[in-house]
Structure 1
Amino acid sequence: MTERIPALKREGGVPRSRRGRKLLRLLIALFVIVLIVLFFRSPLSEISEIEITGTQYLSKEEVGLKLGVTPGDSFFVPSIAKLKARLTEMKPIESVNIIKNFPGKLRVEVKEYPQVAVQLSDNGQLLAVLSNGLTLPIPEGNLLDKPILSGWKPEDVNLNALCRVLDELPNYLLADLSEIHPDPSISYPSRIKMFTRSRFEVVTTVDKLKDKIAYLSDIVQNREPGKIIMLEADTYLPYSAENVTDE
């Protein structure tokens, strides 16, 4: 009588194919780590060029110093957000855009506050007045086509408000204003007196200037020179009529 031989049980443990896959994954991970280490130790991970554009009142050297990185530093650290935060601490800068182009190029696009007026310093130097109220030396070669601010104190709150309004005016209207000084009264603390290159004398307030400027533009283009008051009511008197009244 033939007897059946029982089948032998397989030894326990991980199948050979599974052990092979684990070993392959481990080798790949080690290879990737080695590549990462080599990359961060190579020139590819460094800044090779820094390009700064848009500066007018600040020098590129000042911006670069505040940026805090130089060619040879890490391309990835600090982050773009941290670099922006450093530059926006500079008072003339309104905004900044930073672009990293791999490999190695760092582009810094600066936007400074625009110039809205000119001011004469105590020592006779002409200063640019920016839209945030900051005064800086005028770069050589800049055209002096902005109004001159006379008689203003740096701590005057109306000065900053005026600079913001001037920033919103069209260039052709801003170019016609030759001089602006404070002329406050009890009723109108923010009252100002302006003179135009077209020989008009204008009285208004910082608060009303933006809304009243269209009326001023209409008179300047269509009337002879004279005095204009733009407060609660608008009045216009040509110099010729004023002379007749005096006589």
Structure 2
Amino acid sequence: MDKVIDIEERIPSMREKRRRKTNKKFIFIIAVFCIALLVLLYFQSPLSKVGSIEIHGAILYDEEFYFEKSGVPIGSPYWGFDTKEIEKELLKIEGVSKVSVSRKLISDIDISITELKMVAYMENDGKFDLLLENGDIISSDINYPNVPILNHLDKPDIRKKLTHQLMKMDKDVLHLISEIIYTGTEDYPDTITAYMDDGYEVHAIIPTFAEKMEFYPEITSQLEGMEKGIIDMEVGTYFSPFNKVYGIEKELIIEGDEEGEGDVDGEENE
């Protein structure tokens, strides 16, 4: 015969289960209310606004320029913009090759800019534009030291050839070049003249410019103590003092292979 359980014996346990269930519902409602309240307070507080924007990698343009182009003012909603859309806008700027926008900490924005390298200045009616590594020219107000000024390089194909040579050149040698003037003609379209910070003048051709200039420090060390002059690297490597250039005088030939290696000897050239 089955045991009969008195209902009065079960009432306390049923009440306890009902109380626990009620408490869980109450706690859940309180938790939802608290979370909603915190979210509401967050969006009403300064923490939900953009507090600062840090920009890294700005050289071609100043940080304020990128800040304005980002379209995200300080104090705007922190979650009110799409980082990918900002990246697309900044990539439209000339000279910018890569952009990364991310949210940092509580209310900070981090913008990392990767720019094309600046190779030289281009003189344009008394103003100086910037020549980039891809051959493009942009206007900028920055003061970028240790790059040469290029003159008379109006032809894009010639400009790109010279840009390629400057990108290959050793930085220490490149920083010695003050100015490069394109002197090409119809018969000799690749000739250039480079004026150096240490007082020498270099005559060269574009296709071998970087290769020949690799030996420039060695050449000038051999000429130490002598009068400044012209180092001709167009075919071989020759040196002529400035005060002898226009006369039938002694010219120094830097002996060696066609890359300009060797010693400096004197020879009569008439």
Fold conserved between structures, TM > 0.5? yes
Q: In the alignment, is the contact (CA less than 8 A) between 1:45 and 1:76 conserved in 2?
A: yes
Partner of 2:264: none
Structural mapping, 1:147-166, within 5 Å: 147-153=148-154, 156-166=156-166
SS of 1:7's partner is: coil
- Equivalent-residue separation in structure 2 for 1:216 and 1:42 (angstroms): 63
Pick closer, same or farther for the CA change 1:215–1:19 going to 2, 3 Å.
Answer: same
- 1:50-69 CA-to-partner distances (Å, cap 9, x unmatched) read 34465454244432221001
Partners of 1:71 and 1:166 in 2: CA distance: 41
Q: How far does the alpha carbon of each residue in 1:184-242 deviate from its partner, in whole angstroms, 9 at most, with x for none?
A: 879x98x452424222211241xx5444442344334435743113xxxx621223158
Whichever residue aligns with residue 181 of structure 1, its letter is Y
Question: 2:129 aligns to what?
Answer: 127
Contact 2:166 2:174 in 1 (8 A): yes
Q: Deviations along 1:86-114, whole A, 9 cap, x unmatched?
A: 22221133445556443433344545444
Conserved? CA contact 2:162–2:206, under 8 Å: no
Note if 1:38 corresponds to 2:41: yes
Rounded to whole Å, the distance in 2 between the matches of 1:58 and 1:236 is 40
Q: Offset of 1:149 from its aligned partner?
A: 1.9
Separation of aligned partners in 2, 1:4 and 1:47: 72
- 2:231 is matched with which residue? 226
Name which of 56, 69, 73 aligns with 1:70: 73
In structure 2, relative to structure 1, the CA distance for the partners of 1:215 and 1:39 (3 Å cut) is same
> How much does 1:7 deviate?
2.0
Residues 1:84 and 1:169: Cα distance change in structure 2 (over 3 Å) = farther
1:88 aligns with 2:84: no
Extract unaligned runs of 5+ from structure 2.
Answer: 224-228, 241-250, 254-266
Distance, in Å, in 1 between the alignment partners of 2:43 and 2:203 is 66
For the pair 1:146 / 2:147, whether they are aligned, the reply is: yes
CA contact (8 A) 1:116 1:166 kept: yes
Count of residues paired in the alignment: 231
- Structure 1 pair 143–70 and aligned structure 2 pair: CA distance change class (3 A): closer
Structure 1, 91-100 or 174-183: larger mean CA deviation: 91-100
Relative contact order, higher structure (CA 8 A, sep 6+): 1
Contact 1:129–1:136 under 8 Å retained in 2: no
Q: Which residue of 2 aligns with 1:6?
A: 4
1:100-138: CA deviation from partner (whole Å, max 9, x where unpaired): 4434333445454443212221x3323332334323244
Structure 1 position 70, deviation (Å): 0.7
Check the 8 A contact 1:54/1:109 in 2, yes or no: yes
What are structure 1's unaligned runs of at least 5 residues?
Answer: none
* CA RMSD, Structure 1 to Structure 2 (Å): 3.8
Normalised TM-score (structure 1): 0.71
Letter in 1 for 2:128: L
Residue 236 of structure 1: aligned partner: 237
Shift in CA distance, 37/62, structure 1 to aligned 2, threshold 3 Å? same
2:27: which partner in 1? Answer: 24
Aligned CA distance change for structure 1 residues 49 and 212 (closer, same or farther; 3 Å): same
Equivalent pair of 2:52/2:109 in contact (CA under 8 Å)? yes
CA contact (8 A) 1:114 1:167 kept: no
More displaced 10-residue stretch of structure 1: 169-178 or 15-24: 15-24
Structure 1 runs (4+) deviating above 6 angstroms are 9-12
Which 10-residue stretch deviates more, 87-96 or 177-186? Answer: 177-186
Q: What amino acid is the match of 2:159?
A: L
Q: Distance in 2 between matches of 1:24 and 1:71?
A: 39
